[in-house]
Amino acid sequence: MRNIDEKAKRFIVTGAAGFIGFHIARKLLEAGHFVTGIDNLNDYYDIQLKKSRLQKLNKYPRFNQHLISIETRGEFQKIYLREQPHFIFHFAAQAGVRYSVENPRAYLESNILGTFEILEAIKNKPPLHTIIASSSSVYGMAKIMPFSEKHKADSQISFYAASKKSVENLAHSFSHIHNVPITMLRFFTVYGEWGRPDMALFKFTKAIFENAPIDVYNGGEMMRDFTYIDDVVYAATKLINKIPGKDAIDEDDQDFEEKSIFFRVLNIGNSNPQPLMKFIRAIESSTGNKAKINYLPMQEGDVVNTWADTTLLESIIGTFPKTDVSTGVSKFVDWYKTYYL
């Protein structure tokens, strides 16, 4: 792995008005870097929340924004050639497992075609490192726990998950052909302040404050590797100067599938799965209200358990913070009350 210095660098962050992209961009700006944020402010969820995130970022003099759709042919390339960033965080994507059942085309266009446009733009003169968001949902129906990057991931059960695995495959091919250093991050149930309204923590908190019932699938019998946003940002930004190269692969490890020397996949999770009901009890404790629970069968495209093996990640960046659920939920509820109540 090649290392770079810690002086101010130029970054492009796609999905800068999104949940994780916003937090990444803000962390980079706080560190004194230059950040170009790209987003199309689509209406999948409350646009005002996205605008509020951008308002926070626009307070930093080293931030500039472009409101474009990355899947529009040639639009990203214009920005890339003008900005000539040292690094890219590509986090723009159509999110949501359940929505992908209703509108799979949105995932085809944003996730697959959008990523293709990014890769096409950078292939001839790549940045030092491109970090791309993937998802733990690519593990699909895998039974072996914890989920490891060493395991095959060929059984996705939602179009969202399939689109993310497709992105990984596209990125690997471009990395191999054009020697583009790329790291894929498989995120595990990220939650925290400024989170998306379609995510469980947000929906449950809103309903509990409003004394409305919450829908809990599979009778509540699910485990999730809940990962707090600050821990995700810490790990992701630590990877900036950990650039894949010839020593990114342990050639003595026969369990690893052969991959391009400039490409890697990493899990980012808490590596401590918790019962969904414990998550709900933490929300009850933080809000001071009791949840009214509507138990439902398992929902199509969802999985029962997730659990991240973070051994590989920690071998690269060292140990990183792993916030417990009660602390993370409490911080989210405090933010929710400040922003909405």
Q: How far is CA 38 from the centre of its chain?
A: 16
Task: Tabulate helix, strand, coil % of the chain (nearest 5).
Answer: 40, 20, 40
pLDDT score for 254 = 47
**Integer Cα distance of 247 and 315 in angstroms:** 13
Per-residue pLDDT of the chain (341 residues; tens, 9 = 90+): 555 555 899 999 999 999 999 999 999 999 999 999 999 999 999 999 999 999 999 999 999 999 999 999 999 999 999 999 999 999 999 999 889 989 999 999 999 999 999 999 999 999 999 999 999 999 998 888 999 999 889 999 999 999 999 999 999 999 999 999 999 999 999 999 999 999 999 999 999 999 999 999 999 999 999 999 999 999 999 999 999 985 444 444 444 455 678 999 999 999 999 999 999 999 999 999 999 999 999 887 788 899 999 999 999 999 999 999 999 999 999 999 999 99
pTM, two decimal places? 0.94
**Integer Cα distance of 35 and 132 in angstroms:** 16
**Which amino acid is located at 228 in the chain?**
Y
Domains of the chain as residue ranges with CATH: 10-195+229-269+307-322 (3.40.50.720)
Task: Report which DSSP code applies to 32.
Answer: T
What does the block give as tokens for 15?
């999905």
* Alpha-carbon distance values, 143 to 61, 102, 125, 184, 198 (Å): 48, 27, 40, 22, 27
pLDDT score for 301 = 75
**Integer Cα distance of 148 and 135 in angstroms:** 13
pLDDT score for 4 = 52
pLDDT score for 302 = 81
**Positions marked active-site:** 160
pLDDT score for 7 = 84
What does the block give as tokens for 223?
């485990």
Q: Which of 224, 329, 322, 324 is nearest to 274 (CA)?
A: 224
Q: Which residues contact 106 (CB under 8 A, 6 or more apart)?
A: 44, 94, 99, 100
For the beta carbon of residue 102, count every other beta carbon within 10 angstroms: 9
